Structure 1
Amino acid sequence: MNWHNIRRDFPSLNKKNEGKIPIYFDNACNTLRPRCVIDSMRIYFEDQPGCAGKRSSHYFSKETEEKCRVARKEVADFINANEHEIVWTKNTTESINLVANSFKIKKNQNVVCSIMDHHSLLLPFYKKCADSGAELRIVECKTDCTIAAEQFADKIDKNTALVAITHASNVAGTILPVKEIIKIAHENGALALVDGAQFIPHRALDVKKLDADFYCFSMHKMLGPSLGVLYGKEALLEDLNLFMVGGDTIRDVVYKDGKIFPQFLPAPKKFEAGLQNYAGIIGSGTAVEYLKKLGMERIEKHEIKLSKRILEKLLQIQEVKIVGPLNESARVATISLILKKKISAKDIAEYFDTELEKYRIMLRADAHCANPFHYFLGLNPSKGEGTLRASLYFYNTFDEIDIFAEELNNLLKRVE
């Protein structure tokens, strides 16, 4: 596989920005789109901009409905799910909120999360527990930012309603032992929801083998447009309370004796109220096709090499501390740094974005929507303290890593 040639598929990698060569290291936030994804969405807008959902029976509508059906099947096949187990949402955050607001929990029960979780996983279940009187339990990580399944076992008991797990940390890059944690949850009668937003772009996923009850992810972190996906076991989706209702969620609404009697459709349609992001759905199907052609196993092997390279380079810089495991196979290629010198991570990110002569290196610097984890690391997000994050994807190169490491080392040497 010639990974350098693949970069030609990405228009934004092949254009200078104000005369500077782009080096895009913010893939944990949003990945770039290949030309085929952009084209598939453009074709929808230009040629067949109809409503799906069988609202209309004309040509545009039929073509859109069919393309959306194919896209749902593509995404389902990508994770070894049934297409009826795929719900379209706005993003991972909405997918998690859908489950948090729709599943049943009692006052004497608890939900188990971890310290490394993104706010989008922690906060919906914090609110669910606060509203219901249930308990939210937090599993802390080890000093190397790993968590063993046994640590979850210490928090899970017969009163645990649900275990909400991050598959890979958006800060430390750590890949959690999710399969083992799910097994412990099920042995105690609890459900398991996985936030897979930072895992699924980088590794092959089989939800059946994983045995996850719910799995949430975002297409914009895996070459697609802004769109969320909720996978749920079919029976469990049916058991969830309604979250948002409206057009396209019902079979009929009968009016009789001054009252209405809605007849709701089964999942996934009962959760997809109103007109959907049809261009986004179509583009998501194309993104998954593109990833399938590359092969997730090949992507994994290449990204492990990228991780190894960037870890080796950054370990040579004394002024930074790498957050997370130093074993490149135990993590995704998301590397966050704690700066040992008194310099703001945001100032460094701004410098790399605007002040380099030849390159524009795009990073992220803050708490990455994981404030509790940063407090746990000894930083204070309320005072603007955070980490400097470089998150890579398969289209990044060894040369880009070397340039970043060299420029970072040179900059930190100049800082008093």
Structure 2
Amino acid sequence: MDVKAIREQFPILHQEVNGHPLVYLDSSATSQKPQSVIEAVDTYYRYDNSNVHRGVHTLGTRATEKYEGAREKVRRFINAASTAEVIFTRGTTTAINTVANSYARANLQPGDEIVITPMEHHSNIIPWQQAAKATGATLKYIPLQSDGTISLSDARETITTNTKIVGITHVSNVLGTVNPIKEIAKIAHENGAVLLVDGAQGAPHLKIDVNELDCDFYAFSGHKMCAPTGIGVLYGKRAILEEMEPFEFGGEMIDFVHLHDSTWKELPWKFEGGTPIIAGAIGLGAAIDFLNDIGMDAITEHEKKLADYAMKQMRTIDGITIFGPEERAALVTFNLDDVHPHDTATALDAEGIAVRAGHHCAQPLMRWLEVTATARASFYLYNTEEDVDRLVNGLLKTKEYFGDVF
């Protein structure tokens, strides 16, 4: 991978922040966008701007071709069987809520179980809390091991014949844990449950094959994988989606409307009510082209080397606590002794280094870690070992400054 050439394609990286060259280490929150994605969105608005599907004029035809072409790119990217299984949403949150509202509430009853883990993002906790309250189902958690992983024996013990839905993150946005999705799918299916995977941190960094994983649903966001904000995907197995009712109603998703009843379009459009996120989908298609040109296996390998290097270098700092397992995705969550993570992030920003600080939308996990907040450095295909060195030097300066202050 020619990281220098890749970096040249990201205009935002070529700037100074607080008098220092920008080091962007917050891609788990949102990734930066390459020139090809920016131009794809710009071209749509400059030359093709029109609503899709209904119009027969030239602009409408061009917009529809690009929008549905992006759906086919997503299908190939995740190896779905059909574009009917690819639903465009506003992001991972909307995708999970679609399943929680359209599938869970229609199929759960008192005595049924929903199983998730304590490492989940709030977007994969709260929809299941609400579904459980609405249906009388029970929400259960697979316990975490001391290093922030889950064991398959605990999964087998927690998932029972009463379990109807299992929801689990592919990659933890705090710990970097990569969960054994294929094995959990097998356990879920043996017990008659369906599996939803929160792929917000998986799809940008790993080669995804939903058929090999055998998940029933896979949700992810475009903005974490070089695409615009406001676009995401819900993959679902066709047989399940066919049985689900939409939960968002209006234009675009209908077939016939009568005074007292209506019928829905076929998949995937019955779940895409209202004017679609056209520019976002086109941008997502361009982002997938960009990632495919580099190769997801190459991206994964590059990020693994960066994560290993970051762990090694950061452990040379006295008084640092690093959270999560040894084998991890491309992020390091940490705290400096006696320095609040918000202060750490502010001090690093003064050096032009962008990291995230807070609870990372994972308050149950923070309580499990026995901290109120953490700092997180997350890496992507445009980061380098020099970025890691800048981070380490920035952390040493932060320690020195707060040591002098206190």
- TM-score (norm: length of structure 2): 0.96
- Choose the corresponding residue for 1:405, options 389, 392, 399: 392
Structure 2 contact 27–224 (Cα < 8 Å) conserved? yes
Deviations 1:233-269 (A, max 9, x none): 0111111122101101111113xxxx43312112210
User: Whole-Å Cα distance in 2 between the matches of residues 279 and 119 of structure 1?
Assistant: 27
| Aligned partner of 1:343 among 339, 345, 349 | 339
Within the candidate set 360, 370, 374, 1:378 is matched to 370
Answer yes or no: is 1:206 the counterpart of 2:209.
yes
TM-superposed CA distance for 1:18, in Å, is 5.3
Q: Deviations over 1:340-371 (max 9, x none)?
A: x2221001101111x33xxx100110000000
Match of 1:37 in 2: 37
Match of 2:67 in 1: 68
Cross-structure match for 1:232: 236
Aligned to 1:382: none
1:7-406 alignment runs, 5 A limit: 7-17=7-17, 19-52=19-52, 54-81=53-80, 82-103=82-103, 104-226=107-229, 227-254=231-258, 259-326=259-326, 330-339=327-336, 341-353=337-349, 355-356=350-351, 360-379=352-371, 385-406=372-393
Structure 2 residue runs without a partner (length 5+): none
**SS state at 1:44 partner:** helix
Deviation of 1:406 after TM superposition, in Å, equals 1.7
Cα distance in 2 for partners of 1:365, 1:7 equals 25
Offset of residue 19 of structure 1: 3.8
**What letter matches 2:394 in structure 1?**
E
The AA in structure 1 aligned to 2:331 is T
**Counterparts of 2:11 and 2:287, CA distance in 1:** 15
Distance 1:33 1:134 in 2: 41
> What are the superposed Cα offsets for residues 6-51 of structure 1, whole Å, 9 maximum, x if unpaired?
1000000112235431100000010000000000000011111000
Give the residue type in structure 2 aligned to 1:337: F
Query: SS at 1:288's partner residue?
Result: helix
Provide the rounded CA distance (Å) in 2 between the counterparts of 1:342 and 1:308.
26
Report the Cα distance in structure 1 between the residues aligned to 2:162 and 2:31, rounded to whole angstroms: 39
**CA contact 2:347–2:398 (8 Å) conserved in 1:** no
Q: In structure 2, how many angstroms separate the alpha carbons of the residues matched to 1:177 and 1:148?
A: 9
Is the CA contact 1:48–1:64 (under 8 Å) kept in the aligned structure 2?
yes
Q: TM-score, normalised by structure 1?
A: 0.94
Instruction: Give 1:42's aligned amino acid.
Output: D
SS of the residue aligned with 1:308? helix
The 3-state SS of whatever aligns with 1:230 is strand
Contact preservation (8 Å) 2:348, 2:398 = no
Give the letter for the 1:108 counterpart: G
Contact 1:148 1:177 in 2 (8 A): no
Cα distance in 1 for residues equivalent to 2:119 and 2:339: 24
Q: Aligned to 1:220, what secondary structure does the other structure show? A: coil
* Residue 400 (structure 1) shift: 0.8
Does structure 1 retain, via aligned residues, the 8 Å contact 2:93–2:123? yes
The 10-residue stretch of structure 1 (16-25 or 29-38) with the greater mean CA deviation from structure 2: 16-25
Q: What CA distance in whole angstroms lies between the structure 2 residues aligned with 1:273 and 1:110?
A: 30
Contact 1:41/1:282 (<8 A) preserved: yes
SS in structure 1 of the partner of residue 69 of structure 2: helix
Instruction: Please give the alpha-carbon distance, in whole angstroms, between the structure 2 residues aligned to 1:402 and 1:338.
Output: 17
Tell me, in whole angstroms, the C-alpha distance in 1 between the residues paired with 2:18 and 2:273.
Answer: 42
